[in-house]
Amino acid sequence: MSKTARIAVLVSGGGTNLQALINSQKKGIISSGKIELVISNNANAYALTRAKKASIDTACVLKKECADQKEFENKIIEKLKEYDIDLIVLAGFMSILSEDFTSLYANRIINVHPSLIPSFCGKGFYGLKVHEAALEKGVKVTGATVHFVNEIPDGGEIIKQKAVYIREDDTPETLQKRVMRLAEWKILPEAVEEVSKKLIN
């Protein structure tokens, strides 16, 4: 039996994508990797509660307690090294990581973004803002993308995409929920399994 990839999930908020990963691990959709650690940059993130309920170790690294971005990232790296992490998953992590950080983990950081990249992505496009922009533009199809993370926001190689049709009565909130349910929660676990498998083979 080959070893499983050791996964850290970085979060900032409610942790719905983290929950999708935990559920997928339980169902065996993710079998080549195991979530060993959840790191949050927000002490009040509900994602931390989700992790504790699933008996996953947690850590908090707060930017306001760090002198600068470098110290913030170094504290995260210390935790990743302590847990011997192979793969980092950004699941609603509201902090852009520098090239110093991303180059250390080339092709080992993945992120889920709530649109079909290259639409509605890059700096300033996150959360509801993505769905607001899609509705404003009048596109008929949106979706989600899982991609590798590099120094350019949403600029890394695409791993998986899934399309979701927009309805005429959609609001940013209804669209966000549907994109999560139909796209993000499906392709993120699949991508985690795919990348984990490659890392251990």
Contact 184, 143 (CB under 8 A): no
| Enzyme catalytic residues | 113
* Strand order across the 109-113 sheet: 57-60, 33-40, 5-11, 87-90, 109-113, 141-148, 158-165
Q: How many whole angstroms separate alpha carbon 62 and alpha carbon 84?
A: 21
